[in-house]
Amino acid sequence: MTRHERATPRIAARWGCSALLLGVIATTVILGAQLAERNRGRPASGPAPDFQLQLFTNEHIELNDLRGQVVLLNFWASWCPPCRAEAPDLQALHEDFAGSGLRVIGVNMLESSPAKAQAFVDELGIGYANGEDIEQRIARLYRVEAPPESFLVDRRGQVRQVYIGSITYDMISGNIQSLLAEAA
């Protein structure tokens, strides 16, 4: 056996095995990170993830700019009947508490066309801020599974309450009042 023949497997072994082992380790780390990300649930407490939203009125809004106010974040779609049912109550909350520092923000998701969202807003006479969540970015941040879901954020930007499914005026007005009573 020549020296060349003996040397080749050694070098190949060193490189091949190192590459394989490193590959397995890298894969494990990546999968672990992905799993951790996927297992992250809705932000039920702690700081509310920041986002920017372009409203249907073409203004921009950023959550962190709203510090000092109580924010009710509502994810909705026009084709979702429970969303339609809760919209008048949201509007009423907006009318009653906007003066004392409540901002209601509607995040429109999974809408097949912006025209339908606009029609929904017009038809129900919605006066609070609304915008479309392009590519589901905000919905993904908040781990929204299907509309409607709502998040109540206090004056310090902390998520205080998560509502899955439609909400009513009576169900949450108490919570809003107590959050409004808190100092910023």
Partner 1 sequence: MLAELGLVALTLALAGALYAIVACLYSARTGEQRLLQSGRNAALLTCPALLLATGALVVALLTEQYQLRYVYQVTDPGTPPLYRFTALWGAQRGSLLFWSLLMSGFICGAIALNWRGERRLMPVCIPVMMASLAFFLGLSLFIENPFERWWILIDAPVEEQVVSRALIPPRAVPPTEANLRAGAEGMNPLLRHFGMVIHPPMLYLGFVGFTIPFAFAVAALASGDLSNSWIRATRRWTLIAWLFLSLGLILGGRWAYDVLGWGGYWGWDPVENAAFLPWLVGTAFIHSVMIQEKRGMLKLWNMLLVIAAFSAVMFGTFATRSGVIDSVHSFARSEVGFPMLAFWAAMTLLALSLLAWRWRGGALRDERQFASLLSRESLFVLNNVIFIALFVAIFWGSFGLPIASELFLSKEVTIGAQTFEFYVVPLFIAMYMLMGVAPLAAWGGMTVARLGGMLRIPLLLTALGVAGLAVGGTDLLVAALGYGVVMFAAIVALCEIARGVAARRQTLGEGPLRALLALFGRNQRRYGGYMVHLGVTVIGIGVIGSTIFQTEAQHTLNRGETVVIQDYALRYEDFVRAQAVDGRLMNIASLVLLRHGDEVARIRPRIDDYPQLPMSIAGAHSTLENDFYVLLIRGDRQRATFRIYINPLVNLVWWGGLLLILGTAIAAYPKGRR
Partner 2 sequence: MADCRQLACFAVRQRAAIFRPLASLLLGFVCALLASAQASDNAVNQVAQRMYCPVCENIPLDECLTAACQEWKEEIRAQLAAGRSEQAIIDSFVARFGDHVVGVPVDPLMRALTIALPLLATALALGIGAVTFRRFAAGKQLPAAAAQRDRSEAAYRQRLEADVRARR
Q: Which stretches of the chain bind partner 2, using CB under 8 A?
A: 1, 77, 79-82, 110, 112-113, 116, 132, 134-136, 145-146, 164-165
Side-chain half-sphere exposure of 75, counting CA atoms within 13 A:
24
Contacting range for partner 1; rule: CB under 8 A; set: 21-29, 47-55, 95-103, 125-133: 21-29
Q: Which does 77 bind (CB under 5 to 8 A by kind): partner 1, partner 2, none?
A: partner 2
Residues 46-75 contacting partner 1, CB under 8 A: none
Q: Which does 10 bind (CB under 5 to 8 A by kind): partner 1, partner 2, none?
A: partner 1
Q: Which does 184 bind (CB under 5 to 8 A by kind): partner 1, partner 2, none?
A: none
Question: Which is it for strands 159-164 and 60-62: parallel, antiparallel or unpaired?
Answer: unpaired
SS (H, E, C) the chain: CCHHHHHHHHHHHHHHHHHHHHHHHHHHHHHHHHHHHHHCCCCCCCECCCCEEEECCCCEEEHHHHCCCEEEEEEECCCCHHHHHHHHHHHHHHHHHHHHCEEEEEEECCCCCHHHHHHHHHHCCCCCEEEECHHHHHHHHCCCCCCCEEEEECCCCEEEEEEECCCCHHHHHHHHHHHHHCCC
**Least CB distance from residue 23 to partner 1, whole Å?**
9
**Least CB distance from residue 7 to partner 1, whole Å?**
11
Nearest residue (CB) to partner 1, 14 versus 60: 14
Does the protein bind partner 1 through residue 34 (CB under 8 A)? yes
One of 2, 3, 4, 38 touching partner 1 (CB under 8 A): 38
Does the protein bind partner 1 through residue 35 (CB under 8 A)? yes
Binding site for partner 1 (CB under 8 A): 6, 9-10, 13-14, 16-17, 20-21, 24-25, 27-28, 30-35, 37-39
